[in-house]
Chain A
Amino acid sequence: MNPEIGHYALALALPVALVQAFVPLIGATRRDAALMAVAGPAALLQMLLIGTAFAALTQAFIASDFSVMNVYQNSHTAKPLLYKISGVWGNHEGSLLLWVAILAVFGAAVAAFGAALPDRLKARALAVQGMIGAGFLAFILFTSNPFLRVDPTPAQGLGLNPLLQDPGLAFHPPMLYLGYVGFSMAFSFAVAALLEGRVDAAWARWVRPWTLAAWSFLTVGIGLGSWWAYYELGWGGWWFWDPVENASFIPWLTGTALLHSAIVVEKREALKSWTILLAIITFSLSLLGTFLVRSGILTSVHAFASDPTRGVFVLVLLAIAVGGSLTLYAIKAPKLEPGGLFSPLSRESGLLLNNLFLATAAATVLLGTLYPLIAEALELGTLSVGAPYFNTVFVPLMVPLVLLMGIGPMMAWKRSDLAGVLGRLKGALVGVVVVFGIALALSGVDIIDIAGSAGIALAAWLFFASLTEWAGRVRLFKSSPADLWKRVSSLPRASHGMTIAHLGMAVLIVGVSGSSAWKQENILTMGAGETVTVAGFDVTFDGAELIRGPNYESVQGTFSATRGGGKAVTLKPERRVYDQPVQQTTEAAIHTTFWADLYIVLGDGPADTGRYVVRAYFEPFVPFLWYGILMMGFGGLVSLSDRRHRIGAPRKAAAIAEPIKA
């Protein structure tokens, strides 16, 4: 396949997207079935065309076709195959192509599997998808074409930034984009419902799986980015409140809110217009995230392309999408049928509070992220808003949210009895006190120890309360084993999914609290044979040697660490210099136990002394971050497999799932 075919396919996809954007929309207004029927084939054709373009670019990367500018700038023949492929999206143009490719796949999925969707809703939702696709295709074709040629063909490529040559980062962008673009489905359905003037339980049942899938991918995508920053950058930290991190985290917060408010629409047909608004906001924030990252407008510790024309283009796209959908919302939302009533003490209220906390948190993080821009525009000086701001506003909002997470799932719909719920949580409260006591006994009574222990107690609350809720549902202690199994397997997958995700959140909180409170850092210069003690580990520096990798040269240090005279483990941190582009990177060495990481970074040494600057960290509970994130993503997927979400799938599937109830 050659790049021109890819370019041509991409150019063809634009008019197809425009047809998909407008013809079904007109059809839906005129109730013309033939015009509406255009949406499906157009979506499938779009996937075919964009898929061809994506395949052509991937092929150019694999074959190291340096006549393509994009390949020349971002690849190299000596690069391992995985990084040749990940190089496709390891750059601006290719990552946008990936963005529309995912959009096209999702659109085609609605077209192919959405047979049970009401015709007009489907036509309108696909039309909105077509509009988003057209916007991004125009962006790629006019400002960021990945298929430009170079003449004469260079003999060798410039190579991919070595920091990106990493398995964690190879999959980070696709995961994030699956999340961002997944939210575009919620957005399209929201706009379609507004045009339709009707939001009901069936609508929510269509939106929820997309939101769930998007949320799960975004969760894992953010987690991968954090994991990568932790082990690759050698700073021993896993979250920096960097603008680019925030750009993906803000849609995660509102997406989490959307996930929960859609449940209220599905079960109780309440909070309808709020849910629509959340769907619009979540996707708008995904677009804003793309804008912030792509335009280079924010001073970030990341370095990325700053090209004003691209920034302006995305800004215009953003203005159209946000302005258009919010205007539509302002006109149409008041006409939506009012939803069901509920008392201030009910499951609905709990979910509403969850939404308020998440939305407030999203707003404050957004403000902190954009404030340097606002200040610059108002000439208040050049400034930055750092981690202290975010910690000060974020933590007080999350603590009550997590307390609520323990209670909310046990509240009844419509009207609930708080005293009864708290009564059932007595056991959990005892557990919290015990955990808090143990944490204090093990750590100490300094302010930081109390804060860390309180964080762990908070996690324990969520953990025990979630287990109590689950145990109550399956009657863990009140039924025979056979009966219990029946109950476990007949409990909807969505319930299991919720429990797993909430438990994951608890595990994540242990990681956040523990690593923030009890991290230890040791910076020193070491010569061969010297030993340093870090949190009970005796770490001995055995020496350093020069080694040669496939496309880099490296100074590799050897350290052996023992704890309490146990078996020694070897750690080999490196300081690499890549051949192309010539760039130095730090490869931290990490020894993981179940509870904690020992993390060693090798720095430069004073010349010719044989001594090196060494940073040794003890990172307690950091592994819990990754366990927690995986559990949350897995919980989302379990919930996604709930048969109620497949209601639109062939009815046979529902029939097969039925007998379990017996």
Chain B
Amino acid sequence: MAKRKTQRLYFILLGGLAVATGVALVLTAFEDSIVFFYSPTEISQQTLSPGQRIRIGGLVETGSVNAEGETTTFTVTDTAETLDIVYRGILPDLFREGQGIVAEGYMLASGVFQASDVLAKHDETYMPPEVADAIKAAGEWRGDEAPQQEAMSNSATASP
């Protein structure tokens, strides 16, 4: 059955090609689209190349939010260090002082974080896990006193 063997070879070649294409694409994409998360403490400890896309997170410091036109500046903290953030646009519905947020963007040369997206969870009792970890790492965790409510526990396909 030479013909069946030919067909099998054809399958194997195609499969190999698919795997190779997939791996090549994934490696190229990983190169520049993985976004690391840093807490304000970690940022103060290391130098990041300007323009590198990162995520940061922390609690919005009370009294720090300042809106001027469509640009908002505020400060986040992990209770040890703080970081100033500037954002242009409409903040998410649940953004408020004292709330844990995650922001994506890059560091400006001035040491201010330019955010392109600000993510606040849809649930006011919810703490982004990275922020909780960052605050734990900074040694200021008040425990899980706020029961995590199941406000949006369904399988909603959604976004920020």
Contacts and interface: CB of A to CB of B under 8 A. Distances in A.
Interface of A: 73, 89-92, 95, 161, 163-164, 169, 172-173, 176, 222, 225-226, 228-229, 233-235, 237, 240, 242, 244-245, 247-248, 290, 293-294, 299, 301-306, 338, 341-342, 344, 352-353, 356-357, 359-360, 363-364, 367-368, 371, 381-386, 388-390, 392-393, 396-397, 523-525, 581, 583-586, 601, 603-604, 606, 613, 615
12 contacts: A90-B154, A172-B156, A245-B158, A301-B159, A338-B4, A356-B18, A360-B21, A360-B22, A382-B37, A384-B34, A386-B33, A388-B29
Contacts of B158: 163, 225, 228-229, 233, 242, 244-245, 301-302
Given A222-B157, A303-B123, A344-B10, A393 B26 contact: yes
B156 A235 contact: no
Contacts of A381: 36-37
A299 B90 CA distance: 23
B50 interface: no
List of 9 A-B pairs having minimum Cβ-Cβ separation, nearest first = A225-B157, A603-B90, A392-B29, A388-B33, A240-B159, A389-B33, A382-B37, A305-B153, A305-B150
Contacts, number: 196
A359 B157 CA distance: 22
A356 B19 CA distance: 9
A371 B89 CA distance: 30
Given A356-B18, A393-B29, A306 B148 contact: yes
Given A360-B19, A388-B33, 15 more contacts: A73-B150, A161-B151, A228-B157, A304-B155, A352-B11, A364-B25, A383-B34, A385-B35, A389-B30, A392-B33, A393-B22, A525-B70, A604-B90, A613-B90, A615-B89
A344 B19 CA distance: 19
Given A91-B150, A306-B148, A581-B151, A229 B67 contact: no
Contacts of B90: 234, 523, 586, 601, 603-604, 613, 615
Given A359-B18, A392-B29, A225 B156 contact: yes
B37 A384 contact: yes
Contacts of A397: 21, 25
A303 B33 contact: no
A123 B32 CA distance: 52
A164 B93 contact: no
A290 B154 CA distance: 10
A444 B156 CA distance: 38
B122 A302 contact: yes
B138 interface: no
Nearest to B37: A382
Given A383-B37, A386-B33, A613-B70, A304 B154 contact: yes
Nearest to B127: A303
Contacts of A352: 11, 14
B152 interface: yes
Contacts of A164: 152, 154, 156
A615 B35 CA distance: 27
Contacts of B69: 524-525, 606, 613
Nearest to A247: B155
B93 A305 contact: no
Contacts of B14: 352-353, 356
A89 B36 contact: no
- Find the residue from A73, A228, A389, A615 having the highest chain B CB count within 10 A: A389
Contacts of A606: 67-69
A462 B101 CA distance: 43
B154 A384 contact: no
- Find the residue from B19, B69, B133, B150 having the highest chain A CB count within 10 A: B150
Contacts of A353: 14
B119 to A, nearest CB: 5
Contacts of B94: 583-584
Interface in B98-124: 104, 119, 121-124
Contacts of B123: 161, 303
B61 to A, nearest CB: 19
B70 A341 contact: no
B118 to A, nearest CB: 11
B160 interface: yes
B159 A229 contact: yes
Contacts of A95: 153-155
Given A389-B34, A583-B124, A233 B160 contact: yes
A55 B20 CA distance: 51
Contacts of A338: 4
Contacts of A604: 67, 90-91
